[in-house]
C-alpha cells in the first residue's frame, strides 16, 4: 500500500520502519520539514516529504503527533481524498498535553481528534508503548503474539488498519466504534499491558470509563515518583497492576 505517516518520533518512526520493511511504499513528514528526516528516511527505505505531499496519492495516512497538535492538521488533511484511510495513534495526557475540557468531560480521545481534523479516523497502535511496537512484535503463528485493539466503526477502513497492525507484528482485535475507543485509552486494562488475544478481549470488556482517567494520572504520578528509571517490564507490570 501507499502510506503517508505524519510524525516521526518514537511511534511514527517505528511504524514507518516496520511498514517499509513489509514492502509498503512509505512517505514520512514531521513539523520541521523533509530535510530534518532525510537520514531516517534513507535508513528505513521511506521518502521524506512535506506535510502537503504526505497526504497526496496515498491509500492510508497514519498520524502520530502529540495530542494537542492535531488541530494543526485540519488544513493538511482537507487535501486528502475522502477515500484515504486515516489512522490515529494518539493518547491524551493532560499533564503533558494541557487540559482539553471536552475530553476531560468524557469525549473519547479519537472522537475529539476526528472532529479537530475534520475526518473519520481509526484508532490503532495507541495501546502499546513505543518500545513494545519496536521490539515485541512476533510472527503470525506465535501463540504468545501480543494483540492490539483497533477501533473505528468503518468496516473498510478498519480492515485496512487491522491488516497494517498485523504487518507490524501484532494481532489486530476489532474493538468497536470510535465511541467505544475509550476502552483502549490510558488507564484502562487494555492500555500498554501487552496482552494476548483472549486477555485483550476480556480487558476491553472490563474497562471502567470513570476509573480510567484516575488510573492514568495515578500511573504517571507513580512513574514520576520512582527514584530510578523503570524498566520496560516494570512499566508494563505497573500498568497491569493498577488497571486490574
Ligand atoms: N511514546 C509512546 O510510547 C506512545 C505509544 C503509543 C501512542 N503514543 C501516542 O502517539 C503520538 C506520538 O507519540 P511519540 O512518542 O511518537 O511522539 P514524539 O516522539 O514526541 O514525536 C512527535 C512527532 O510529531 C511531529 N509533530 C509534532 N507536531 C506536529 C505537527 N503539527 N505537524 C506535523 N508533525 C508534528 C514531531 O515532529 P518534529 O520533531 O519535527 O516537531 C515528531 O516527529 C502521541 O499522541 C502519543 O500519545 C505514544
The rounded Å distance from CA 8 to ligand 1 centre is 7
- Burial level of 72, CB count in 10 A (0-12/13-18/19+)? middle
The rounded Å distance from CA 7 to ligand 1 centre is 5
The rounded Å distance from CA 215 to ligand 1 centre is 23
The rounded Å distance from CA 143 to ligand 1 centre is 31
Q: pLDDT band at residue 229, thresholds of 50, 70 and 90?
A: very high
Mean pLDDT, rounded, of the chain: 97
Q: Is ligand 1 within 6 A of the CB of residue 12?
A: yes
Q: Is ligand 1 within 6 A of the CB of residue 94?
A: no
Q: Is ligand 1 within 6 A of the CB of residue 203?
A: no
The rounded Å distance from CA 149 to ligand 1 centre is 20
Q: Is ligand 1 within 6 A of the CB of residue 181?
A: no
Q: Is ligand 1 within 6 A of the CB of residue 59?
A: no
Q: Is ligand 1 within 6 A of the CB of residue 126?
A: yes
Spell out where 84-164 has E strands.
85-88, 122-123, 147-152
Report how far residue 88's alpha carbon sits from residue 182's, in angstroms, rounded to the nearest whole number: 13
Q: pLDDT band at residue 75, thresholds of 50, 70 and 90?
A: very high
Q: pLDDT band at residue 141, thresholds of 50, 70 and 90?
A: confident
What is the DSSP code (8-state) at residue 82? T
Strand partners, 25: 2
Q: Is ligand 1 within 6 A of the CB of residue 31?
A: yes
Residue that has been written with the C-alpha cell 468496516 in this structure: 155
Domain limits, the chain? 66-243
Kindly report, residue by residue over 168-218, the tens digit of the pLDDT: 999 999 999 999 999 999 999 999 999 999 999 999 999 999 999 999 999
Q: pTM to 2 decimals?
A: 0.98
Kindly report, residue by residue over 28-55, the tens digit of the pLDDT: 999 999 999 999 999 999 999 999 999 9
The rounded Å distance from CA 11 to ligand 1 centre is 7
- Whose Cα sits closest to atom 7 in ligand 1? 126
Kindly report, residue by residue over 118-137, the tens digit of the pLDDT: 999 999 999 999 999 999 99
Spell out where 52-169 has E strands.
60-63, 85-88, 122-123, 147-152
Q: Is ligand 1 within 6 A of the CB of residue 90?
A: yes
Q: Is ligand 1 within 6 A of the CB of residue 186?
A: no
Q: What topology does CATH give the domain 66-243?
A: Rossmann fold (3.40.50)
Q: Is the dihedral of CA 90, 96, 98, 104 positive or negative?
A: positive
The rounded Å distance from CA 13 to ligand 1 centre is 9
- Whose Cα sits closest to atom 19 in ligand 1? 9
Amino acid at each position: 500500500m501507499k502510506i503517508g505517516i505524519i510524525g516521526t518520533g518514537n511511534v511514527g518512526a517505528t511504524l514507518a520502519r516496520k511498514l517499509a520493511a513489509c514492502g509498503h511504499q512509505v512517505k514520512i513528514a514531521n513539523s520541521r520539514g523533509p530535510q530534518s528526516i532525510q537520514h531516517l528516511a534513507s535508513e528505513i527505505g521511506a521518502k521524506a516529504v512535506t506535510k502537503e505531499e504526505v497526504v497526496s496519492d496515498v491509500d492510508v495516512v497514519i498520524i502520530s503527533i502529540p495530542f494537542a497538535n492535531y488541530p494543526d492538521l485540519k488544513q493538511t488533511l482537507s487535501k486528502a481524498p475522502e477515500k484515504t484511510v486515516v489512522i490515529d495513534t494518539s493518547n491524551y495526557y493532560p499533564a503533558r498535553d494541557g487540559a482539553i475540557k471536552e475530553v476531560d468531560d468524557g469525549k473519547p480521545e479519537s472522537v475529539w481528534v476526528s472532529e479537530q481534523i475534520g475526518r473519520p479516523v481509526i484508532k490503532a497502535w495507541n495501546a502499546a508503548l513505543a518500545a513494545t511496537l519496536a521490539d515485541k512484535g512476533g510472527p503470525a503463528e506465535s501463540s504468545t503474539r501480543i494483540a492490539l485493539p483497533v477501533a473505528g466503526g468503518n468496516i473498510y477502513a478498519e480492515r485496512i488498519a487491522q491488516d497494517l497492525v498485523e504487518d507490524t507484528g501484532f494481532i489486530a482485535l476489532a474493538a468497536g466504534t470510535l465511541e467505544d475507543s475509550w476502552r483502549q485509552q490510558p488507564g484502562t486494562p487494555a492500555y500498554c499491558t501487552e496482552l494476548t488475544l483472549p486477555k485483550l478481549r476480556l480487558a476491553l470488556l472490563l474497562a471502567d470509563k470513570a476509573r480510567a482517567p484516575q488510573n492514568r494520572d495515578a500511573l504517571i504520578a507513580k512513574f514520576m515518583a520512582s527514584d530510578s528509571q523503570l524498566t520496560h517490564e516494570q512499566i508494563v507490570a505497573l500498568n497491569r497492576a493498577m488497571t486490574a
